Structure 1
Amino acid sequence: MRGTGIVFAGVVISMFFGFLSRILIARNFSIDEYGVYNLALTILSIAITVATLGFPNSLPREIVFYREKDPSKINKLISTALIIVVLSSILLMVFLILETENIVQIFKDGKLSQVLPIIVFTLPFSALTNVLISISQGFGRVREKIYFQNIIYPIIYLLLVISVIFLNLNFSFIFFAYTISQIFTFLILIINMLKMKILCFELSLDLTLGKKLVVFSIPLFFAGILSFVMGWTDTLMLGYYKNSEVVGLYNSASSIARLLTIFLNSISFLYVPLVSSFYIQGKLNEMGRIYQILTKWIFSLTLPLFTLIFLFSKIVIAFFFGGRYLEASRVLEILALGFMFHASTGLNGSNLIIIGKSRLNLAGTSFAALLNIILNFVLIPVYGLEGAAIATTMSYFVLNILMSFWLYKNSKIHPFSWNYVKSLVISFILLGILKSLNLNVDNIWYAVLVSIVFVGVYFLLLLFSKSIDNEDIDLLLTVEKNLGVDLTLLKRILKKFI
């Protein structure tokens, strides 16, 4: 539980400062420039995924394996992985620099030619940072991910963005800020790992180990590419069919909607290693019960933010990004539905991996990614921004339905306990009532107040409908023990409604 709390704090800090940087860029530069910013980051993200070859997902498992079976090969494994990523990232960086003009022609925006050569210089450093963090995870450490990737990097980048704006520098300096922050993060990370003796300077390339690592990583590499396709196809295809200004509008809504996955992502980081032991011991009932309780908590914790975003999308957009981005308010509502549904089904994909059905996980992601491309191809030329949002939301709906169906078919595990179903029904009815009232709210703080009242009523109805489980009390006991807070009064109240 303590590890989950640390990871959650790191995710919150990372998302908060990253979101704040986006807001500052969107407010202080044109919508077109904000669109170029998102296009450039998307292209870089694709390149990082390709350059790392799936190693960030495979190395933790491989390091654990060699620590148990053949510790003498760990340094060679790490060294080989780093050398391969250095070579692949440098080659890809050179390719992107040489192909800049062709990329610019695809997206029809001349500003990309100015900023792309700057940001792709980040590629080797960003790729190596991801691999270094996966190596630390293989040694059972989360410190490097939380401190360096989730805290130090976003804070440094935010400070540099503020400096660019304060000094009234050209838009391209935002990309210099991004590059500098990535390089600095990489340098202090590698110094820390050398100091902790996780790495050594004995660089060597073992082709046999490298071949085994690449072969094992290939399915994870494709899974990473497909996950990326799910997340960023809309941005790329809007850039292709429309222009960077439309991309800027869309990503203002997208960056807010993605905040709805904060609790899901925090728990997922530690879920697989924690729950796998139950499956290994044949305790499917216990595993399923943990899944149900955590899914109910994820939904309930996400609901307040969803209420604010979905019911008051115009106010939320205007508050964070300014009145210029109001056109994206309907997009925010549509995307919020998709990400809320994603959160409400919980960690179905992780459970498929735990029960040894990773191929079904890959198949579901493949189908959803293909569907996303097809829907974007059909809907964007006709409906523009809203078409891209519908495509993404429908893809997440289909993905989670497939994952949940396959999980139940293969293990009889599902997230829908009777108490969770009651909480879903209560939330749907309350949301429907509030939406039908068409409240004339024009102030963010009034909107927050309405959302708080909504959530308060929701939790009261949970109590009176006896939607509290004994496991909820057990979870509070764990929180109380690890955080050192006194929750006696809350526990007494909840016990009366079980």
Structure 2
Amino acid sequence: MSDVNQALQRIARGTGIVFAGTVISMLFGFLSRAIIARYFSTGEYGVFNLALTILSIALVVATLGFQNALPREVAFYREKELSKLGRLIPTALIIVALNSLMITALLILGSDVVAQFFNETRLKYALKIMALALPFLALRGVIISITQGFGRVREKVYFQNIIYPVLYLILIVVGAILSFPFTYVFFAYVAAQALTLLALVLDVWKIRLFELKFSLDSKLGKKLVIFSVPLLLSGILSFVMNWTDTLMLGYYKSSETVGLYNAASPLARLIPIFLTSAGFLYSPIASQLYAQGKVEEMKRIYQVLTKWVFLLTLPIFAVMLLFPEATIKFFFGAKYVSAASALQILALGFMFHTFLGLNGMSLIVIGDSSFILFSNFISAAFNVLLNTLLIPAYGINGAAVATAVSYFIANVLMSLRLYQKTSIHPFSQSYLKPLIITFVSLAIIRSLPLRVPSIWEALPILAVFLGVYFFLVLLSRSVDKEDVELLLAVEKKLGVNLGIIKKVLGKFV
């Protein structure tokens, strides 16, 4: 079996597991958000999202970019300098632990200033409570990124995707049943994060994947920090790009407007779910291939993955683009339907991100983290500028446009750089044909005078669209031999007979 097929099958297995975990995580996360949104006012829901956004930015600073750097670094050390791995891991954990404690103290002390900036007094106590979760969040993320470098998905799925969201949902439901005050939401968040980290540490200690010891290697730590600094700054800029809309809506408008927007934003962020899932094992596997000088194999993996991720993402994108009102109403209730246009705009931005594939992660693999910093700086600058110009006049729709445009700019820049450095691009012939079919099909359906008040009435229309779409994809002969081999591997793994599907595909390969 070729390196490409072996890598694709490993990534496919990992993608399936990570995707299942991500779906579970998002399901429970949406349930938690829906309960908070329905049980409390839109203003309180907005405060919760503002506090969560600020904590997310603090998390990027606290982890110093290690969450993006460690999967690659661990994979490289395993390939070339295994003896140093035992010192690298505890060094990374100690650095992050100390840094996160310092950031926590700054958040607590500066909560009053932040609350005054957003003119929202309720944000002060929210930040003081939620800041206590930062060390637990940071250490959990770094431990999971270390296990990712070992090519493992178990820890991410169990502890990040299942245990934490389930714990938090249980605590939120208990609070709603017992009519606890709004502050309980934040205490529940801290408790869920602390218990999840404790469970993860006990599990890692039990299986002895790596030693949890106190060992600080200043030379390795310095090297790791130097490599991670561009990724840290890129992470900060990514959060500027991702969350400036929420923060500036809070500044220019109100917490109620933030609450409306955060009905559309979390839904649109579902779109890269398959891309993110595929990227979890792509990073260590592509790092090993690149270390061996197998760039052509890496290119082919990139192209096949991008096509499959696009095809798998299409149903999610289609339902948000074609039936935004029904989608928002189903998840958040009728009072958030006014965010439907924002959902469509955001969906286009996140789908463009998916359409070009794992460009940023590939740049990390080849060690070009400085360009990621450059592209994120350019896109973040455009995001701030567009939000400043558009939010006062257009509110949540202006914020959505700013985010979509900034994603477009970042992805175009990173894809051009990746092609310049490695000749890697996603546009194989078998990918271009489904793209053309997609654009034409969606344009035709958008032109029809469809009125769909509920998600249940949208599903039959979506099913017909997808059936016709995938028939046209087959008819255009967009199926490659790697696609069939991947299907055979899935068939073997699941222990099912996909004879009919194989027979159909055989006629179009």
TM norm. shorter chain > 0.5: yes
Distance 2:433 2:459 in 1: 25
1:483 to 1:195, Cα distance in 2 relative to 1, 3 A: same
SS in 2 for 1:414: coil
SS in 1 for 2:463: helix
Aligned to 1:234: 245
1:271 to 1:82, Cα distance in 2 relative to 1, 3 A: closer
| Stretch deviating more after TM superposition (92-101 or 305-314) | 92-101
Aligned to 2:340: 329
Aligned amino acid, residue 104 of structure 2: M
Q: What do the CA deviations read for 1:281-317 (whole angstroms, capped 9, x no partner)? A: 5554443333222212111111111111111101111
Aligned to 1:300: 311
Aligned to 1:257: 268
Distance 2:317 2:59 in 1: 31
Distance 1:203 1:411 in 2: 40
1:70 to 1:493, Cα distance in 2 relative to 1, 3 A: closer
SS in 2 for 1:384: helix
1:496 is aligned to 2:471? no
Distance 1:202 1:292 in 2: 41
The structural deviation recorded for 1:437 is 1.0
Sequence identity, in percent? 57
Distance 2:89 2:274 in 1: 32
Aligned to 1:443: 454
Q: What do the CA deviations read for 1:101-129 (whole angstroms, capped 9, x no partner)? A: 11101111111123221111111111111
Q: What do the CA deviations read for 1:106-156 (whole angstroms, capped 9, x no partner)? A: 111111123221111111111111122223334443322221111111111
Aligned with residue 93 of structure 1, among 88, 104, 116: 104
Distance 1:48 1:353 in 2: 20
Aligned amino acid, residue 458 of structure 2: A
Aligned to 2:285: 274
Aligned to 1:105: 116
Aligned to 1:211: 222
Aligned amino acid, residue 193 of structure 1: V
1:277 to 1:409, Cα distance in 2 relative to 1, 3 A: same
* 1:353-432 mapped onto 2 (5 Å cutoff): 353-432=364-443
Aligned with residue 345 of structure 1, among 356, 368, 372: 356
Aligned amino acid, residue 324 of structure 1: K
Distance 1:90 1:472 in 2: 47
Aligned with residue 116 of structure 1, among 127, 130, 154: 127
1:464 is aligned to 2:475? yes
TM-score by length of 1: 0.94
Assess if the C-alpha contact under 8 Å between 1:79 and 1:204 holds in 2.
yes
Aligned amino acid, residue 385 of structure 1: I
SS in 1 for 2:478: coil
Aligned amino acid, residue 107 of structure 1: F
1:45 is aligned to 2:56? yes
Aligned amino acid, residue 351 of structure 1: S
1:24 is aligned to 2:52? no
1:82 is aligned to 2:93? yes
Equivalent residue pairs, number: 498
1:153 is aligned to 2:164? yes
The structural deviation recorded for 1:96 is 1.4
Structure 1: unaligned runs, 5 residues or longer: none
Distance 1:495 1:436 in 2: 35
Distance 2:437 2:485 in 1: 24
TM-score by length of 2: 0.92
The structural deviation recorded for 1:353 is 3.2
The structural deviation recorded for 1:240 is 1.5
Assess if the C-alpha contact under 8 Å between 1:466 and 1:497 holds in 2.
yes
The structural deviation recorded for 1:201 is 6.2
1:309 is aligned to 2:317? no
1:485 is aligned to 2:464? no
1:440 to 1:233, Cα distance in 2 relative to 1, 3 A: same
Assess if the C-alpha contact under 8 Å between 1:119 and 1:178 holds in 2.
yes
1:427 to 1:127, Cα distance in 2 relative to 1, 3 A: same
Structure 2: unaligned runs, 5 residues or longer: 1-11
| Stretch deviating more after TM superposition (132-141 or 112-121) | 132-141
Distance 1:185 1:457 in 2: 44
Aligned to 1:169: 180
Aligned to 2:154: 143
1:292 to 1:202, Cα distance in 2 relative to 1, 3 A: closer
Distance 2:500 2:121 in 1: 61
1:361 to 1:202, Cα distance in 2 relative to 1, 3 A: closer
Assess if the C-alpha contact under 8 Å between 2:151 and 2:281 holds in 1.
no
| Stretch deviating more after TM superposition (267-276 or 389-398) | 267-276
Assess if the C-alpha contact under 8 Å between 1:263 and 1:298 holds in 2.
yes
Distance 1:250 1:406 in 2: 33
| Stretch deviating more after TM superposition (415-424 or 174-183) | 415-424
The structural deviation recorded for 1:159 is 1.1
Aligned to 2:6: none
Assess if the C-alpha contact under 8 Å between 1:133 and 1:145 holds in 2.
yes
1:62 to 1:370, Cα distance in 2 relative to 1, 3 A: same
Distance 1:91 1:355 in 2: 32
SS in 1 for 2:269: helix
Assess if the C-alpha contact under 8 Å between 1:76 and 1:203 holds in 2.
no
CA RMSD in angstroms, aligned pairs only = 2.1
Assess if the C-alpha contact under 8 Å between 1:335 and 1:392 holds in 2.
yes
1:244 to 1:2, Cα distance in 2 relative to 1, 3 A: same
| Stretch deviating more after TM superposition (290-299 or 173-182) | 290-299
Q: What do the CA deviations read for 1:180-225 (whole angstroms, capped 9, x no partner)? A: 1001001111112222234656424444443333223212211221
Assess if the C-alpha contact under 8 Å between 2:150 and 2:284 holds in 1.
no
Assess if the C-alpha contact under 8 Å between 2:342 and 2:397 holds in 1.
yes
Distance 1:45 1:54 in 2: 13
Q: What do the CA deviations read for 1:29-56 (whole angstroms, capped 9, x no partner)? A: 1111111111000111111111121222
Aligned with residue 330 of structure 2, among 311, 319, 324: 319
Aligned with residue 208 of structure 2, among 187, 190, 197: 197
Assess if the C-alpha contact under 8 Å between 1:194 and 1:200 holds in 2.
yes
